[in-house]
Amino acid sequence: MSLWRKSAGYALGRAFTSFLVFLLLPILTRLLTPEMFGTWQIMAFFAAVVMVMVQLGLDQALFRFYVIDSKNRGRYLAVTYLFVAFASIVMFLIVFILRNPLRTVLLSRMSSPNLVLLATLWGIVDAFFFTTTTVFQAEERVSTFVMCDVARALLGYGMGLFALQAGYGIAGLVWAWIFAALAVLFLVFPLIMKKVASPRPIALVLPMIRYGFPLAINMLIIKFFTFTDRWLIARLSGLSDVGSYSAGLKIAGIVQAALIPIRYAWLARMFNLYKEGRLKEKLPHFWRQISGFIGFVAVFVIIFAKEIFSLMIGPGYESGRFVIPILAAAFFIDALILVADAGIYVTGKTSLIPAYTFFAMLGNIFLCILWIPRFGVLGAAFAVFVSYALLFFMFWRAGQFLYHVDIPYVKVFSSVVAVILSMIVSTGEFALIVRLPIFVAISTALILVTGIERDATAFLKNTIRKRGKK
Cα gap 139→30, rounded to integer Å: 42
The phi and psi torsions of 304 (rounded to 5 degrees) equal -105, 25
Question: Where does residue 318 fall: left (phi above 0), alpha (psi -120 to 50 degrees), or beta otherwise?
Answer: alpha
Q: What is the largest CA-CA distance in the chain?
A: 70
- Region of 108 please: left (phi>0), alpha (psi -120 to 50) or beta: beta
Rounded distance, CA 388 to CA 357, Å?
9
pLDDT tens sequence for the chain (470 residues)? 444 455 556 666 666 777 777 788 888 888 889 999 999 999 999 999 999 999 988 887 887 777 777 777 788 888 888 899 999 999 999 999 999 999 888 887 777 888 999 999 999 999 999 988 888 877 767 778 888 888 999 999 999 999 999 989 899 999 999 999 999 999 988 888 887 767 666 677 788 888 788 878 888 888 888 888 998 998 888 889 999 999 999 999 999 888 877 776 677 678 778 888 888 888 999 999 999 999 999 999 999 999 999 999 988 898 899 999 999 999 999 999 999 988 888 887 877 888 899 999 999 999 999 999 999 999 999 999 999 999 999 999 999 999 999 999 999 999 999 999 999 999 888 888 999 999 999 999 999 999 887 777 766 666 566 555 65
Q: Is the dihedral of CA 77, 82, 88, 91 positive or negative?
A: negative
- DSSP notation for 218-254: HHHHHHHHHHHHHHHHHHHT-HHHHHHHHHHHHHHHH
DSSP string, 78-116: HHHHHHHHHHHHHHHHHHHHTHHHHHHHHS-TTS-HHHH
Sign of the Cα torsion 198, 201, 204, 209 reads positive
> pTM (2 decimals)?
0.84
- H or E stretch including 275? helix 239-276
In which element (H, E) is residue 50 found?
helix 34-55
Could you report the per-residue pLDDT of 105-162, keeping only the tens digit for each?
A: 888 777 788 899 999 999 999 999 998 888 887 776 777 888 888 899 999 999 999 9
